[in-house]
């Protein structure tokens, strides 16, 4: 069981008011690439034949009655992707028909950020939330980056502004700022280095200092503080999906089935982490299940991840609870197709912010493991 000792030295809250809406999308991509006609979205024998190999991947989690709705979109998206020379980056919280049937690269934020540095395509479609699309844009300023629904935000990203980070630096002069990637480009630009839940501890310790400012997730900060001697000044942000889990509900599940494995994300509160058998980023959670093949497991995170791993490992039984992320769920097959056909919504980050934010993200990506 993971023990959690809270050694965060200070947690500070919002210092200024914060409207943190994404930058308004512009229509330059449409002018550059032009619109494509909407392909047929009819379900017929040809579509069934062309998508049969993809249905094989998801048949344990997508009922056959739903496939005639998804399949025409899957076929159309895969065809339009080629025509646009586009790739789709999909986060582990995307639904199985996106994750297994149209994505070119899947993973957690760190894996997607790394893939974004290697992309050869002209267009990147981010099947995830806005800060992820911004990260892809920061790493590929010359490529067109699209997000199928610009309203796909994140409670962590909207918990802090660039102005907050500047005020934190004034209050704690000389203390470096480690910023979780779940933040806007503007916040990254004010930071020394970014981190993900995969590498947060490594990043904090890489700085060789005895104190860091860690924003914006208070629970990830507590988790990191429990594993290091570095003093952490945390911020009062949280993930609205992971903070809803409780240690009590996990204790009840374990009481009903002592053999169940409980695997939690470090954005969860400390009592949830204390009640779990393993804590790690979404990529590490998936690796844990692949390696240990538990008979029954609870993935204490967003619901679609269990579906995506279930499709790959049908012999493992995934037990609820899980919570849906309303922002991730804004991304759907119809919106991805619309995004590719009409080149929307284009993600725009101004050059000065891109330059500064890229330094913080690349410092993380190229950190020696
Ligand atoms: S799951 Fe939480 S951290 Fe991830 S996008 Fe949703 S609100 Fe943000």
Query: Would you call 361 helix, strand, or coil by DSSP?
Result: helix
Kindly calculate the radius of gyration of the chain based on its CA atoms and give it in whole angstroms: 21
pLDDT at 369: 57
pLDDT surpassing 90 at residue 1: no
pLDDT at 75: 98
pLDDT surpassing 50 at residue 21: no
**Summary mean pLDDT of the chain:** 92
C-alpha 268/C-alpha 262 separation (Å) is 13
**Higher model confidence: residue 203 or residue 23?**
203
Neighbours of 55 (CB within 10 A): 18
Neighbours of 363 (CB within 10 A): 17
- What's the CA-to-centroid distance between 155 and ligand 1, angstroms? 6
Q: Which of 93, 112, 154, 245 to mutate to test the pocket of ligand 1 (most atoms within 8 A of CB)?
A: 154
Dihedral sign, CA of 73, 76, 81, 84? Answer: negative
Query: pLDDT digit string (tens) for 66-91?
Result: 999 999 999 999 999 999 999 999 99
C-alpha 134/C-alpha 132 separation (Å) is 5
Largest CA distance in the chain: 66
Q: List all residues 6 or more positions away from 259 whose beta carbon is below 8 Å from its beta carbon.
A: 295, 296
Q: Which two tokens stand for residue 106?
A: 């899947």
Q: Which residue's CA is the nearest one to ligand 1's atom 3?
A: 239
pLDDT surpassing 50 at residue 288: yes
Query: Would you call 105 helix, strand, or coil by DSSP?
Result: strand
C-alpha 67/C-alpha 314 separation (Å) is 19
Average the pLDDT over 291-309 and give the result. 95
Query: Would you call 126 helix, strand, or coil by DSSP?
Result: strand
pLDDT surpassing 90 at residue 114: no
Average the pLDDT over 156-181 and give the result. 97
Q: Which residue's CA is the nearest one to ligand 1's atom 6?
A: 325
Q: Which residue's CA is the nearest one to ligand 1's atom 5?
A: 154
pLDDT surpassing 50 at residue 19: no
pLDDT at 14: 59
Is the minimum distance from the CB of 328 to ligand 1 under 6 angstroms? yes
The whole-model pTM stands at 0.91
Query: pLDDT digit string (tens) for 227-269?
Result: 999 999 999 999 999 999 999 999 999 999 999 999 999 999 9
Tally of helices (H runs) and strands (E runs) in the chain: 16, 13
- What's the CA-to-centroid distance between 177 and ligand 1, angstroms? 21
């Amino acid at each position: 069981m993971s023990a959690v000792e809270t050694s965060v030295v200070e947690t500070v809250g919002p210092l200024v008011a914060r409207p943190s809406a994404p930058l308004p999308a512009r229509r330059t991509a449409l002018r550059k690439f032009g619109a494509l006609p909407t392909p047929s979205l009819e379900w017929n024998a040809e579509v069934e034949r062309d998508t049969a190999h993809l249905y094989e991947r998801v048949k344990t989690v997508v009922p056959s009655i739903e496939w005639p709705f998804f399949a025409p979109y899957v076929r159309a998206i895969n065809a339009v992707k080629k025509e646009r020379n586009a790739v789709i980056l999909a986060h582990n919280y995307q639904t199985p028909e996106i994750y297994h049937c149209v994505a070119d690269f899947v993973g957690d934020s760190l894996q997607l950020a790394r893939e974004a540095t290697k992309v050869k395509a002209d267009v990147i479609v981010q099947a995830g939330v806005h800060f992820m699309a911004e990260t892809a844009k920061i790493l590929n300023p010359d490529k067109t980056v699209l997000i199928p629904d610009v309203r796909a935000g994140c409670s962590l990203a909207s918990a802090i502004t660039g102005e907050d980070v500047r005020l934190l630096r004034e209050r704690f002069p000389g203390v470096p700022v480690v910023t979780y990637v779940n933040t806007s480009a503007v916040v990254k630009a004010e930071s020394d280095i970014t981190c993900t839940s995969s590498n947060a501890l490594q990043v904090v310790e890489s700085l060789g200092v005895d104190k860091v400012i860690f924003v914006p997730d208070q629970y990830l900060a507590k988790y990191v503080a429990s594993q290091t001697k570095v003093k952490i000044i945390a911020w009062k942000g949280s993930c609205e999906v992971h903070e809803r889990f409780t240690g009590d509900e996990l204790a009840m599940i374990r009481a009903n089935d002592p053999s169940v494995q409980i695997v939690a994300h470090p954005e969860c509160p400390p009592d949830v982490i204390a009640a779990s058998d393993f804590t790690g980023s979404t990529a590490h959670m998936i690796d844990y299940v692949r390696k240990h093949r538990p008979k029954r497991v609870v993935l204490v995170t967003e619901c679609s991840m269990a579906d995506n791993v279930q499709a790959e490992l049908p012999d493992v039984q995934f037990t609820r609870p899980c919570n849906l992320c309303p922002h991730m769920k804004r991304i759907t097959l119809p919106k991805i197709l619309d995004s590719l056909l009409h080149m929307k919504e284009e993600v725009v980050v101004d050059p000065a912010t891109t330059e500064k934010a890229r330094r913080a993200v690349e410092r993380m990506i190229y950190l020696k493991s």
